[in-house]
Structure 1
Amino acid sequence: MIEVRETNAGAGLAPEAAQPVLSVDGLTISVRSEGRERPLVSDLSFTLARGETIAIAGESGSGKSLTSLAIMGLLPPPALHVSAGAIRFQGEDLTRLPESRMRAMRGNRIAMIFQEPMTSLNPVLTIGLQLAEAIRAHEPVTKREARARALEALRRVRISEPERRMGQYPHELSGGMRQRVMIAMALALRPDVLIADEPTTALDVTVQREVLDLLRDLQAEMGTAIILITHDMGVVAEMAARVIVMKQGRAVETGAVAQIFSDPREAYTQDLLAAVPRMGDGSGARAASPEAKPVARLRDVKVRFDIRGGILSQVTHRVHAVEGVSFDIMEGETFSLVGESGCGKSTIAKALTGLVPHQGRIEVAGHTMGGLSGAKMKEMRRDVQIVFQDPMAALDPRMRVGDLVAEPLVIHGIGTPEEQREKVAGLFERVGLTRDQLDRYPHEFSGGQRQRICIARALALQPKLIVADESVSALDVSVQARVLDLLDALKREFGIAYLFISHDMAVVENISDRIAVMYMGQIVEMGTRAQIFGSPQHPYTKRLMAAVPIPDPGRVRPPTPRLSGEVPSPVYKLGEHPQRLSLRNIGNGHLVADIGLGGVL
């Protein structure tokens, strides 16, 4: 059972007239390349007071993370180094300290939380051992004392069953739990400064809310100063007192958060804020035509995976990833699936594209998927294409991008090589790229450009349905806005239907026609954009929306429920099944499940 507690949010402000605990003066970070030095961060200056949160915001490549690595003394020598300026911590210039002195200070006085906790934790050591090791590296305590302090640190970050977590390995924890472990490790020694580098970027919106509330509470309790590095302006508005906006290694604008949001002076800051998707501004999407026919039909779809164990490797448990899901996607419609990691969104996408076996009925463009021969399945796949979350992982690094986009045409034997190349060139121009880029390789493009290449490849066969699985979640806000505009323009031009999968509620509101909210493999609410966002009915839908950071510093967040305890699992013993939810129509096609699935509230 999950316990609900109330919490109040509010950005941590520095005490008046507080002395700086950290000051950065004229910091310049350079890289040595081909016998010369090139600055990556230029003349950056700011101060940080005890108990204050300052945000460094900007897009990828702006120099945010390099600044944090310089403060921690973690710039990789000899290529990267501080070429000018000073970083003073309590009067001591960190850039001039020897590594032995910096090692004693790093983690003890200045700590850092990295973006991806899985790469920061040792996969072969238990959580308890790693926490105790961090404590003993800086303080002369016994193993028993270090373990006791490690356990207390886990309790402080409100992780469920802390005693059991001490004996577990990182891969046994969820992303949110691993991030809590990183916070516990960073705060175990009560540092004066905590650097949080994109600490919530990869997390679901509700887990993000928990982590942000946790950082705020611990800051109030311990007086820790926080440098928050992020490209999420909603997080900046809620957490920071001051913000530094960076572009290409320079601070283009600095000031109080309220002033920057209400009256940004620099064009780049204005563009950055204008690109942020906001809830309550879902003006971009259009409803499908009343004469539109279904492109895809799902009826009572189930996807289950067996778990084997024991000496004979028999099936003992079963993962109920998707359990009885039904919906239609109409021609020219954007139908969105939202929910947290593990709710079954991506599994539905894979079932719809024939990548995982399923039970129930799936129809695409009039063809029922079950029992199709290889040739018929290949023909059906012309009508449904998928755009994945990580474009770099979806593109073969050894192939030229023109060949990658032409590959579907080659597989299906469409056109001559000359016709294929001409069609690919036209697709490149349609997605905002140029013909002279056809012979380049994926690593020569930015993240947004690579995603455009993936979209061009999905369009090559002129499909009736494109599945966009978290296709903009890893992009900067301005790039995200351009990709979303492109998807909308393509829908209007070609009449394509989209299955849009995301956990970003603001993006979903701005692009969707209809929405289904998923939890633990089942749909708990479904309706039009206006119904879901204008009148959410299910408690889980309301909780998702309440967790979204709002890019408005003047907005006071009301007390929100804080969850603790065990997260429900979709794994059941063989023969057991999850409780099936029934959807009831409360008017005009707005479907809501009866409150069930213990743990939603």
Structure 2
Amino acid sequence: MQEVATRSGAAAAPDAAPDAALDAAAEAAPVLLVAGLTVSVRTEAGLKPLVENLSFTLRRGETLAIAGESGSGKSMTSLAIMGLLPPPAVRVTAGSIRLGQTDLTAAPEAQMRHVRGDRIAMIFQEPMTSLNPVLTIGTQLAEAIRAHEPLPRAEARRRALAALTAVRLSQPERRMHQYPHELSGGMRQRVMIAMALALRPEVLIADEPTTALDVTVQREVLDLLRDLQRDLGTAIILITHDMGVVAEMADRVIVMKSGRMVEQAPVRQLFHAPTEPYTRDLLAAVPRMGARAAAAAPAPLPAAEPVARLSDVVVRFPVRGGLLGRTTLNVHAVEHVSFDIARGETFALVGESGCGKSTIARAIVGLVPHQGQITVGDHVLSAHGRDAPKALRRKVQMVFQDPMAALDPRMRVGDLIAEPLLIHGIGTAADRRAEAADLLRRVGLSPDQIDRYPHEFSGGQRQRICIARALALKPDLIIADESVSALDVSVQARVLALLQELQQEMGVAYLFISHDMAVVDSISDRVAVMYLGQIVEMGSRAQVFGDPRHPYTQRLIEAVPVPDPAHQRRPSVRMTGDLPNPVHPVGSGPERVILRDVGAGHLVAI
């Protein structure tokens, strides 16, 4: 009874002091202790360290962020903790990783199978590749639970349903019977979080958990992780290159570069008084909302004809069903969209995945059929989207999100850059090679690299090669479709600076498609916000970001992570229920949005 009285807040008896000391010691003891960790890869020249002499501790309920650029060793550290390094090429060559009293570097695989999921869980960057596409969500969750606890199937499914409910997934009973492809990216990430936390692990490793998500979905996932950590006391290792996420989530931060720890500090100290030049450079490269000086007035409309004009453009995709395969539904991807892009202007399309941004880009280059009128220069694009003339294709070029997927790995970069010139029959072989060398120089690469292959370049360098190829035909318009979203912040800053420099030099216009509001704020002249295939707000950058009028625009801007630990975010209403659906029966569709001018060309849906 005396112990009960003490824990309930009554006056402590003298012999209760040892119990309190034991509790404090247990609370202070680290859950995870990494000491002198070195991970090496076997090469022809011997072992090469990928992570070198890394040490840190992680305590219960703490969030430790490991930040740095690609190749810094962040993900390799997480794989070492999980015991998932690819043998025999990569292995731990020095140091220890202790989970409580267990040394994970010396644990056999049979023991690690019990540790994974039960004591340490991991959320990967791309949930679709982490979920089995041929098993239902409920089956996969129950399977993960039964792998560690000998439960009947019915009890495991009850626990799985409780886990889905805990991560606030709408209609959890229905989701149990669905397959991964039937869920959105944010829903799949919630399933991965439910799977990771179903067994209440001591440590949760989140490896870039929000990089591929829209800003509003990212906000929901981060809020969810914070709530679950508060309820369960789980320690979190957050691996990311997004310093805004670090500022909002972390208690302590480790900054890594080339496999070594550059700096370690509490989050506020690191952001407000970084000691290392690399950390200062990393923070300086982070795009910040409002950092660009607001224009005194919106840019005037150009007097000349625009390089591209969309008038009442509609794109719908039929969904066939039934025994006769008739069209019963339509996906309303783009609905009655109209805008102009002026020469030398950066026009940005922003919105969540599925809002129609990329579909508009494909319609402009003639890759999908459309209704309405698309004019590029003096050419009106065919509504069938198939027979765009070469003259039109010379005027519009695209830069895609994944540069490695956009470059043929069997071709040298000089040939890749010169290929558009070859297709259009421009110049001799010597002329095309000289032009490719000049374009490499323009995008900040060396002409000496002209005979290398894409795999010999970094991600940022490959994106520069894609930009050089897009410039080869001297187009009037370049469509940049999420062209910097997969890049580290420092590489991203260099690519954005390059785009602006080339625009000033060549007068090219950009259609910049992104869900990163801070990047759009830093580069755009005018902005259109899309929601479910329609534009809900459009105006100059200063109008849309400085005075957002539509509730959806306001929600997008409020969800952007702020790279300042002192920033206090206003409480917001969380989304509940199912997401609105762009699929409608034939003959019906969404209500058409009407834009109203609220002043100086600032258009807002009414």
Structure-2 residue corresponding to 1:523: 535
* 1:281/1:510 contact within 8 Å kept: yes
Match among 505, 508, 511 for residue 520 of structure 2: 508
Q: What corresponds to 2:488 in structure 1?
A: 476
Contact 2:373-2:383 within 8 A present in 1 as well: no
Secondary structure of the residue aligned to 2:97 is: strand
Q: Does 1:113 align with 2:113?
A: no
Seen in structure 2, the aligned counterparts of structure 1 residues 26 and 292 have a Cα distance that, compared at 3 Å, is farther
Q: Cα offset for 1:15?
A: 12
- Is 1:400 aligned to residue 415 of structure 2? no
Q: Secondary structure at the match of 1:39?
A: strand
Q: Does 1:136 align with 2:146?
A: yes
Listed as ranges, the matches of 1:569-588 within 5 Å are 569-588=581-600
Verify: 1:219 aligned to 2:211, yes or no: no
Please say if residues 288 and 333 of structure 1, whose CA atoms lie closer than 8 Å, have aligned partners that are also in contact.
no
- Distance 1:474-1:376 versus aligned 2 partners, 3 A rule: closer
Q: Percent identity?
A: 72
Deviates more, 1:412-421 or 1:579-588: 412-421
Q: Which has the higher contact order (CA 8 A, sep 6+)?
A: 1
Q: Is 2:436 aligned against 1:424?
A: yes
Cα displacement (A) at 1:293? 3.5
CA distance in 2, matches of 1:517, 1:457: 29
Q: Of 88, 93, 104, which aligns to 2:114? A: 104
**Pairing of 1:33-44 with structure 2 (within 5 A):** 33-34=43-44, 36-44=46-54
Q: Is the 8 A contact 2:370 2:383 kept in 1?
A: no
Q: 2:72 aligns with which of 50, 55, 62?
A: 62
1:245 and 1:254 in contact (8 A); partners too: yes
Give the alignment partner of residue 155 of structure 1, picking from 162, 165, 175.
Answer: 165
Aligned equivalents of 2:45 and 2:346: distance in 1? Answer: 52
Structure 2, unmatched stretches of 5+, are 1-23
Question: Relative to 1, partners in 2 of residues 1:208 and 1:81: Cα closer, same or farther, differing over 3 Å?
Answer: same
Structure 1 CA distance for aligned equivalents of residues 58 and 502 of structure 2: 46
- Closer, same or farther: CA 301–372 of 1 in aligned 2, 3 Å: closer
1:526-582 Cα distance to aligned partner (Å, 9 max, x none)? 000100011000000000001000000011111012111100111111111111000
Q: TM-score if structure 2 supplies the norm length?
A: 0.94
Secondary structure of the corresponding residue to residue 444 of structure 2: coil
Offset at residue 283 of structure 1 (A) = 4.2
Larger radius of gyration: 2
Distance in 1 between residues matched to 2:132 and 2:304, nearest whole Å = 53
Amino acid at match of 2:429: P
8 Å CA contact 1:288, 1:513 repeated in 2: no
| 2:117 counterpart SS class | coil
Partner of 1:342: 354
User: Equivalent residue for 1:206?
Assistant: 216
Q: 1:402 to 1:283 in 2, by over 3 A?
A: farther
Q: Is the 8 A contact 1:20 1:47 kept in 2?
A: yes
C-alpha distance in structure 2 between counterparts of 1:592 and 1:367, whole Å? 30
Q: Distance in 2 between matches of 1:276 and 1:340?
A: 21
Deviation at 1:101, TM superposition (A): 1.0
1:380-395 pair list within 5 angstroms: 380-395=392-407
TM-aligned CA deviation for residue 98 of structure 1: 1.1
Distance in 2 between the 1:276 and 1:464 partners?
A: 30
**Counterpart of 1:252 in structure 2: which amino acid?**
V
- Residue 330 of structure 1 is aligned with which of 342, 359, 367? 342
Q: CA deviation at 1:377?
A: 1.6
User: What's 1:4 paired with?
Assistant: none
Partner of 2:455: 443
Letter in 1 for 2:77: T
Query: 1-side partners of 2:522 and 2:326: how far apart?
Result: 47
Residue number in structure 1 paired with 2:87: 77
Match for 2:101: what amino acid?
G
> Residues 284 and 511 of structure 1 are in contact (CA less than 8 Å); yes or no, is this contact kept in structure 2?
no
Spell out, residue by residue over 1:476-533, the C-alpha distance to the aligned partner (whole angstroms, 9 max, x if none).
0000000000000011000111000000000000000000000000000000010001
- Could you say what secondary structure the match of 1:565 adopts? coil
Return the offset for 1:443: 1.0
Name the structure 2 match of 1:597: none
Q: Residue 362 of structure 1 aligns to which amino acid in structure 2?
A: I
Report SS of the residue matched to 1:226: strand
CA contact 2:382–2:388 (8 Å) conserved in 1: no
Q: How does 1:310-389 map to 2 (within 5 A)?
A: 310-370=322-382, 377-389=389-401
1:290-305 to 2 correspondence within 5 Å? 290-305=302-317
Q: CA separation in 1, counterparts of 2:139 and 2:173?
A: 12
Partners of 1:373 and 1:171 lie apart in 2 by: 28
The letter for the 2-side match of 1:406 is: A
Distance 1:386 1:568, change over 3 A: same
For residue 545 of structure 2, the aligned residue among 513, 522, 533 is 533
Counterpart-to-counterpart distance in 1, 2:160 and 2:166: 10
**Residues 424 and 78 of structure 1: CA distance in aligned 2, closer, same or farther (over 3 Å):** same
TM-score for both structures, normalised by structure 1: 0.95
CA distance in 2: counterparts of 1:422 and 1:565, whole angstroms: 58
| 2:4 aligned residue | none
Q: Using the alignment, how far apart are the partners of 2:287 and 2:25 within structure 1?
A: 32
User: Number of residues paired by the alignment?
Assistant: 581
1:267 aligned to which of 277, 280, 285? 277
Deviation at 1:282, TM superposition (A): 2.3
Which consecutive aligned stretches of 4+ in structure 1 deviate over 3 angstroms post-superposition? 14-17, 283-293, 371-376
Name 1:464's counterpart in structure 2: 476
1:546 is aligned with what amino acid? E
